[in-house]
């Protein structure tokens, strides 16, 4: 075989190998459909960063992240199997468990993200409301599914509030009705409603914010949930997701502002500066809070979890009592080193 023949043979062999590689499927990645609790706003960057940086993919996962329309909806969709995992308020998960005791696919919380509930009562200073005691016999507004509204009996008990009248509305009208004076106060996530009020022309100094955690209500906030099917059949994929998420979230918390570009890529009409503030507020108030630092990111305190289960059972008037051991597991969490993601305490 002369050199020309050898060269021609080698070229044909390379072409054949290239054609074969194109015909073979790529290495299989575990698909995970994930639903957020709400729209693509600042805090969503905590999840979107790992997608944009390829951390989920590097962990062997094909992750799809969709916006949500409330924690209750996310829990229901994960329970139905429409989504494999999601991000939802722990109280909403507890409520689902207790009101659907015979449901075959009740989701389970696998990582704590919002160590404190973001729920708060907000009022305008001109109303004369300065503290929880001023809410007695007042008119409060919130959507029926709002986490703060549903947990308000716990807030009311802790602060001796009575005689409150509730007005329901769709979420986009909540802050507008407060500004118009249709209600005296509202419940909502502190870092959402405060910025929404500012967007409606109200100055920060004219707003009274009463965060639940600062007024005797130590409820946990949002958790990552997964289907029992996935936990049983592919626990390694769940742990891989949590590990990849933690890696991206650590980078977001270390430098929040640039991460808003990941959110803008999913919703091009967001107000970038406002969402930067919302993300920073969420990190400071509920992700890297003093309670989160004391308990450790991703973890829960057993006594606090049991108390919350009892409080939610009472305030939500659930069909059955909530079993804290049924709604939470820490067995799929990544290593302690991987959970060491909270930024240094601000001085």
Could you read off the pLDDT of 219-264 as tens digits, one per residue? 999 999 999 999 999 999 999 999 999 999 999 999 999 999 999 9
Contact 339, 298 (CB under 8 A): yes
Q: Where are the alpha helices (DSSP H) in 39-115?
A: 45-52, 55-58, 71-80, 90-99
Distance, in Å, from the CA atom of 148 to the CA atom of 226, rounded to the nearest integer, reads 24
Note the pLDDT of residue 60. Answer: 97
Contact 44, 263 (CB under 8 A): yes
Which of 188, 215, 242 terminates a domain? The answer is 215
Determine which of 11-25, 217-231, 263-277, 280-294 has the lowest per-residue pLDDT on average.
11-25
Q: What is the CATH number of the domain that holds 288?
A: 3.40.190.10
Note the pLDDT of residue 28. Answer: 72
Q: Other CB atoms closer than 10 Å to residue 174's CB: what's the count?
A: 25
Query: Above 90 in pLDDT, residue 12?
Result: no
Q: Could you identify the residue written with the tokens 């075989």? A: 1
Q: Is 1 inside a domain boundary?
A: no
Q: Other CB atoms closer than 10 Å to residue 265's CB: what's the count?
A: 12
User: Are both 87 and 228 inside the same structural domain?
Assistant: yes
| Percent of the chain predicted with pLDDT > 90 | 89
Note the pLDDT of residue 347. Answer: 76
**pLDDT, mean over the chain:** 92
Query: Above 70 in pLDDT, residue 13?
Result: no
Host H or E run for residue 39: none
The alpha carbon of 326 is separated from its chain's Cα centroid by a whole number of angstroms, namely 20
User: Are both 302 and 234 inside the same structural domain?
Assistant: yes
Average pLDDT over residues 118-123: 97
Q: Is 241 inside a domain boundary?
A: yes
Contact 48, 36 (CB under 8 A): no
User: Are both 169 and 239 inside the same structural domain?
Assistant: no
Q: Would you mind telling me the total number of residues written for the chain in this entry?
A: 347
Note the pLDDT of residue 16. Answer: 44
User: Are both 107 and 238 inside the same structural domain?
Assistant: yes
Q: Is 340 inside a domain boundary?
A: no
Q: Other CB atoms closer than 10 Å to residue 145's CB: what's the count?
A: 16
User: Are both 314 and 248 inside the same structural domain?
Assistant: yes
CA angle 160, 308, 36 (to 5 degrees): 110
User: Are both 197 and 228 inside the same structural domain?
Assistant: no
Q: Is 24 inside a domain boundary?
A: no
Radius of gyration of the chain (CA): 24
Q: Is 105 inside a domain boundary?
A: yes
User: Are both 227 and 289 inside the same structural domain?
Assistant: yes
Q: pLDDT class for 26, splitting at 50, 70, 90?
A: very low
The 10s digit of each residue's pLDDT in 166-217 is 999 999 999 999 999 999 999 999 989 999 999 999 999 999 999 999 999 9
Q: Is 308 inside a domain boundary?
A: yes
User: Are both 313 and 241 inside the same structural domain?
Assistant: yes
Domain extent, residue 130, equals: 119-215
User: Are both 231 and 316 inside the same structural domain?
Assistant: yes
Query: Above 50 in pLDDT, residue 271?
Result: yes
Q: Domains in the chain: how many in total?
A: 2
Which of 215, 241, 267 terminates a domain? The answer is 215
- In this predicted model, which residue has the larger pLDDT, 152 or 15? 152
Claim: this prediction has a pTM higher than 0.85: yes
Helix (H/G/I), strand (E/B), else coil: 254: helix
Which of 215, 246, 266 terminates a domain? The answer is 215
Contact 207, 197 (CB under 8 A): yes
Q: Is 14 inside a domain boundary?
A: no
User: Are both 203 and 229 inside the same structural domain?
Assistant: no
β partners of residue 111: 224
User: Are both 181 and 303 inside the same structural domain?
Assistant: no
Q: Is 321 inside a domain boundary?
A: yes
User: Are both 265 and 132 inside the same structural domain?
Assistant: no
Determine which of 9-23, 40-54, 78-92, 284-298 has the lowest per-residue pLDDT on average.
9-23
| Maximum Cα interatomic distance, the chain, rounded to a whole number of Å | 99
Cβ within 8 Å of residue 104, ≥6 positions away: none
The 3-state secondary structure of 176-225 reads HHHHHCCCCEEEEEHHHHHHHHHHCCCCHHHEEEEEHHHHCCCCCCEEEE
């Amino acid at each position: 075989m002369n050199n020309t023949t050898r060269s021609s043979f080698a070229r044909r062999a390379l072409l054949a190998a290239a054609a074969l590689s194109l015909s073979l499927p790529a290495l299989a990645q575990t698909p995970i459909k994930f639903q957020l609790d709400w729209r693509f706003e600042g805090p969503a960057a905590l999840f979107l960063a790992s997608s944009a940086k390829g951390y989920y993919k590097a962990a062997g996962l094909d992750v799809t992240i969709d916006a949500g329309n409330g924690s209750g909806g996310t829990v229901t969709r994960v329970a139905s199997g429409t989504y494999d995992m999601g991000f939802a308020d722990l109280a909403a998960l507890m409520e689902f468990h207790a009101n659907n005791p015979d449901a075959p696919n009740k989701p389970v919380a696998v990582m704590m993200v919002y160590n404190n509930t973001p729920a708060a009562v907000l009022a305008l200073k001109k109303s004369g409301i300065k503290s929880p005691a001023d809410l007695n016999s007042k008119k409060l507004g919130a959507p029926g599914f709002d986490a703060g509204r549903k947990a308000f009996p716990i807030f009311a008990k802790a602060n001796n509030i009575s005689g409150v009248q509730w007005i329901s509305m769709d979420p986009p009208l909540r802050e507008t009705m407060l500004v118009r004076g249709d209600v005296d106060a509202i419940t909502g996530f502190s870092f959402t409603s405060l910025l929404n009020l500012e967007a409606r022309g109200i100055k920060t100094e004219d707003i009274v914010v009463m965060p639940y955690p600062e007024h005797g209500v130590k409820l946990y906030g949002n958790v990552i949930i997964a289907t029992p099917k996935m936990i049983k059949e592919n626990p390694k994929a769940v742990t891989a997701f949590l590990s990849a998420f933690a890696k991206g979230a650590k980078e977001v918390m270390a430098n929040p502002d640039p991460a808003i570009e990941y959110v803008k890529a999913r919703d091009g009409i967001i107000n970038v500066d406002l969402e930067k503030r919302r993300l920073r507020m969420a990190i400071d108030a509920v992700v890297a809070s003093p309670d989160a630092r004391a308990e450790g990111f991703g973890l829960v305190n057993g006594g606090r979890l049991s108390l919350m289960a009892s409080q939610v059972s009472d305030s939500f008037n659930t069909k059955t009592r909530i079993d804290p051991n049924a709604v939470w597991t820490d067995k799929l969490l990544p290593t302690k080193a991987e959970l060491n993601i909270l930024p240094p305490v601000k001085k």
